[in-house]
C-alpha cells in the first residue's frame, strides 16, 4: 500500500477548472495544521511514471508501487516541512482519475466542489487565451521531476506557438486533458471545448464517488461557499473532525466574495447559453443547474 509512517490526513479537493478549487484550498490552509504545496497544482507529480500516457484519465492500475511511493513521498514532504496534520492537494486533472488517486491515497478524504457549468465555461475560456504568467510557471517548475522537464518544455513551447497562429488566439491545450481532447480541439469551438471539459471532469468524478464511502467525501457547491462561506467552512471542519472558534473561521473566509457568480454566464449571448446548455444539459441537470 506504500503508506508512510508519518501521521497526517491527505485531503484531496476534486473539481473541474474554474469551480472554486483554488479558493477552497487557500481557505483551508489558513487553519492551523493544514498545509499544501507552495504552488498552484502538482499535476507534474501525479503524472510522474506515466508521463507519456495520452490523457489525464488514468486507470487505477497505473498507480504502480513506484508511482504510489513517489507521490506519497511528496505528500510526506509537505507534512514534514510544514508540520501539517492535514495535507491539502488540489489538481483539477484529478477529477478525471479519482480511482487512481484513491489507489495512491487509500486513507484520503475528499472535497468535491462543483459549479454551474456555463459560469465555469465563461471563466475557463479566458485561461485558454491567457498571456504567459512567468512567476506562476517558475513556482510550478520547482516541483517538476527533473527527468520530465524536457518533455514538458517541448509541450509548453508547442502550445504557445499554437496560440500565435490560432484563429481563436487560444493555447493548444489547457487544463485537464480528457481522453478525447485531440478530437475536441479539432472539431469544437473554444466555448464548446470548455463546456465539454467541465462535463467530463464532473461526470467522471460523480461516477467515481459512487464507489467511495460517504464518510470520506463531502460535496460542496461553489455557489454555497461564496454566499455563505463561514457556514460551509464549518461544515468542512466538522467533516474533518476539526474545531475552530467562530472568529478564526470568519477570518479565514474574510476575503471570499460572491462577485463572480453569474459572471461567466453573462459573458455569453442568450443563444450561446442555450447552445451550451443543450450541449451539456444532462450534467447541468444532474448537478441541479438546469430546471427543465
Mean pLDDT, range 172-194, rounded to an integer: 90
Residue 291 belongs to some domain of the structure = no
Domain of 176: which CATH number? 3.40.50.300
| pLDDT higher than 80, residue 187 | yes
pTM (two decimals) = 0.91
CA 151 to each of CA 5, 31, 52, 67, 145: distance values in angstroms, whole numbers, following the listed order = 33, 37, 9, 18, 11
**pLDDT digit string, tens, across residues 85-129:** 999 999 999 999 999 999 999 999 999 999 999 999 999 998 888
**pLDDT digit string, tens, across residues 54-65:** 999 999 999 999
Query: Count of H helices and E strands in the chain?
Result: 15, 5
- For the chain, the domain total comes to 1
Question: Which three cell numbers mark 147?
Answer: 527527468
pLDDT of residue 140: 75
Burial (CB < 10 A; 0-12, 13-18, 19+), residue 61, is exposed
Between CA 55 and CA 157 the distance in angstroms is 18
Residue 70 belongs to some domain of the structure = yes
Residue 86 belongs to some domain of the structure = yes
Question: Which three cell numbers mark 93?
Answer: 486533472
Residue 3 belongs to some domain of the structure = no
**pLDDT digit string, tens, across residues 252-276:** 999 999 999 999 999 999 999 999 9
Helix boundaries (H) for 29-133:
43-47, 65-81, 98-104, 117-128
pLDDT of residue 4: 59
DSSP for 34-47 reads EE--SSS--HHHHH
Report whether 55 contacts 175 (CB < 8 A). no
Residue 22 belongs to some domain of the structure = yes
**pLDDT digit string, tens, across residues 132-166:** 565 766 677 788 888 988 887 777 666 555 555 56
The residue range of the domain holding 89 is 9-286
Mean pLDDT, range 222-243, rounded to an integer: 98
Residue 119 belongs to some domain of the structure = yes
Residue 4 belongs to some domain of the structure = no
Residue 197 belongs to some domain of the structure = yes
CA 68 to each of CA 119, 228, 262: distance values in angstroms, whole numbers, following the listed order = 35, 37, 40
**pLDDT digit string, tens, across residues 281-291:** 999 999 999 87
| pLDDT higher than 80, residue 3 | no
Amino acid at each position: 500500500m506504500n503508506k508512510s509512517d508519518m501521521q497526517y490526513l491527505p485531503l484531496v479537493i476534486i473539481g473541474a477548472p474554474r469551480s472554486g478549487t483554488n479558493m477552497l484550498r487557500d481557505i483551508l490552509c489558513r487553519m492551523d495544521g493544514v498545509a499544501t504545496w507552495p504552488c498552484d497544482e502538482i499535476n507534474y507529480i501525479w503524472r510522474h511514471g506515466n508521463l507519456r500516457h495520452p490523457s489525464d484519465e488514468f486507470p487505477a492500475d497505473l498507480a504502480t508501487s513506484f508511482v504510489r511511493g513517489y507521490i506519497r513521498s511528496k505528500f510526506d514532504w509537505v507534512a514534514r516541512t510544514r508540520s501539517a496534520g492535514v495535507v491539502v492537494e488540489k489538481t483539477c486533472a484529478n477529477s478525471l482519475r479519482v480511482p487512481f488517486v484513491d489507489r495512491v491515497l487509500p486513507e484520503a478524504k475528499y472535497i468535491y466542489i462543483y459549479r454551474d457549468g456555463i459560469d465555469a465555461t465563461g471563466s475557463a475560456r479566458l485561461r485558454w487565451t491567457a498571456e504567459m504568467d512567468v512567476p506562476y510557471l517558475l513556482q510550478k517548475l520547482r516541483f517538476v521531476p527533473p527527468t520530465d522537464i524536457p518533455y514538458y518544455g517541448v509541450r509548453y513551447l508547442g502550445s504557445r506557438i499554437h496560440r500565435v497562429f490560432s484563429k481563436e488566439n487560444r493555447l493548444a491545450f489547457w487544463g485537464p486533458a480528457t481522453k478525447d481532447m485531440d478530437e475536441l480541439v479539432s472539431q469544437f469551438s473554444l466555448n464548446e471545448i470548455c463546456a465539454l471539459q467541465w462535463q467530463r471532469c464532473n461526470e467522471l468524478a460523480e461516477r467515481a464517488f459512487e464507489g467511495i464511502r460517504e464518510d470520506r467525501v463531502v460535496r460542496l457547491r461553489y455557489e454555497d461557499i461564496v454566499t455563505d462561506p463561514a457556514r460551509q467552512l464549518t461544515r468542512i471542519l466538522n467533516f474533518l473532525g476539526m474545531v475552530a472558534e467562530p472568529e478564526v473561521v470568519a477570518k479565514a473566509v474574510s476575503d471570499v466574495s460572491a462577485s463572480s457568480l453569474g459572471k461567466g454566464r453573462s459573458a455569453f449571448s442568450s443563444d450561446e447559453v442555450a447552445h451550451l446548455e443543450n450541449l451539456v444539459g444532462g450534467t447541468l441537470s444532474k448537478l441541479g443547474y438546469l430546471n427543465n
